[in-house]
Amino acid sequence: MKKIISRAYNFIRKDFLVESSYGFNITMQTIGILFSTFTFFFLSRIVNLSDTPELSRYKEYFPFVIIGIALSNYLSVATRGFSQRIRESQITGTLESTLISGVSPHGFLIYSTLYDFIFSTFRIFIYLIIANLLSSNGFILSQLHYAVLMLIMSIIAFSSMGVLSAGFVLMFKRGDPIAVIYSALSYLFSGVYFPVSLLPEPLQVLSKILPMTHSLEGIRKSLLIRVSLSDLLPEILALIIFSIVLWPISILLFNIAVRKAKRDGSLSHF
């Protein structure tokens, strides 16, 4: 256990040192969050809730959309982060050197995305703090623990797609259709910018098979509507089912990809 914690800490430390070596990188990303938050703040003023009854239960459009944008950051890290880290490490040769140093491919995959998840959590909190200050009703902070629970469940469900996509990159080196298609569908059909109920009915069915839909609904309920834990059960159950179905498939396919790469000698190819 101590070894796992030490490795996790040192992967995070290493990634922080690399990121911070790029001067204003972290500062510029934080400024970017401020700009997009204010853009949606002003944009939300033209959204009239009385014209869109689907939004009325959330009371305001601004916190609704900010939760969508903030969570899509996580989606991006979870689906693309794994494959991006694999690809970067193939190019620098650090994938092979780390594996030769005794880290398993699965360990490498998890350790190397920890920093991205931590930084995304930081970004989410900046979004939410600013949105809380700017919105007239604010978030229901007494239900923050529900939101954290939903966030953890979402990371687990989203990451399965990320592992699948990392396996794809190991096998085919470039092009990651899994992450691209999955992200595009999630952005359009999960209710990032508008409620799913605005979609035509057949497309609403499609939205139900995307983990992001349930994750967004759960977090919005937690922060914008007074609910009890039992009200969140449908979203929690949906995310558990996604995780139970997707994780074994992802692990199996990733193992096949690692085995193939070790047989072809292509772990360090890119």
Partner 1 sequence: MPVILVANLNKRFEIRKSKTELLLHPFKRSFKSVLNDINLTIDACGIYSLVGPNGSGKTTLLRILSGILLPDSGEVRIYDDTVSVNPNLIFLISEADKGFYPRLSLKNNLIFFASLILSNRKDIINRVEGIIDEFGLREEVNTRFQELSSGTRQRLSIARAMLFDPKILLFDEITKGIDLSQQQIIYRLIKSLKEKGKTIIFSTHIRDEIERLSDRVILLEKGRLVTFGAYPDIRDDIRQIFNLQ
Distance CA 219, CA 86 (A): 30
φ/ψ (deg, to 5) at 45: -70, -20
Quickly count: other Cβ atoms within 10 Å of residue 258's Cβ. 21
Nearer to partner 1, 208 or 259 (CB): 259
Residue 18 touching partner 1 (CB under 8 A)? yes
Q: How many residues bind partner 1 (CB under 8 A)?
A: 32
Q: Which is nearer to partner 1, 24 or 125 (CB)?
A: 24
Least gap, CB of 18 to partner 1 (angstroms):
5
Does the footprint of partner 1 cover residue 5 (CB under 8 A)?
yes
Q: Which residues contact 156 (CB under 8 A, 6 or more apart)?
A: 239, 243, 247
Closer residue to partner 1 in complex, CB, 241/256: 256
Residues 131/62, Cβ–Cβ less than 8 Å = yes
Residue 55 or 261 with smaller CB distance to partner 1: 261
CA distance 41 to 46: 10
Site for partner 1 contains 226 (CB under 8 A): no
Three-state secondary structure string covering 150-168: HHHHHHHHHHHHHHHHHHH
Report whether 109 contacts 166 (CB < 8 A): yes
Q: Closest Cα partner for 13 from 126, 152, 112?
A: 112
Residue 22 binding partner 1, by CB under 8 A = yes
* CA dihedral of 148, 150, 156, 157, whole degrees rounded to 10: -160
- By CB under 8 A, is residue 6 in contact with partner 1? yes
x/- letters, 240..269, toward partner 1 (CB under 8 A)? -------------------x--xxxx-xx-
Site for partner 1 in 55-114 (CB under 8 A): 92-94, 96-103
Distance, in Å, from the CA atom of 46 to the CA atom of 194, rounded to the nearest integer, reads: 14
Question: Which residue number, 84 or 207, has a Cβ lying nearer to partner 1?
Answer: 84
Which window, 17-25, 202-210, 217-225, 231-239, contacts partner 1 (CB under 8 A)?
17-25
Task: State yes or no: residue 181 binds partner 1 (CB under 8 A).
Answer: no
Residues that bind partner 1 (CB under 8 A): 2-3, 5-7, 9-11, 13-14, 17-18, 21-22, 92-94, 96-103, 259, 262-265, 267-268
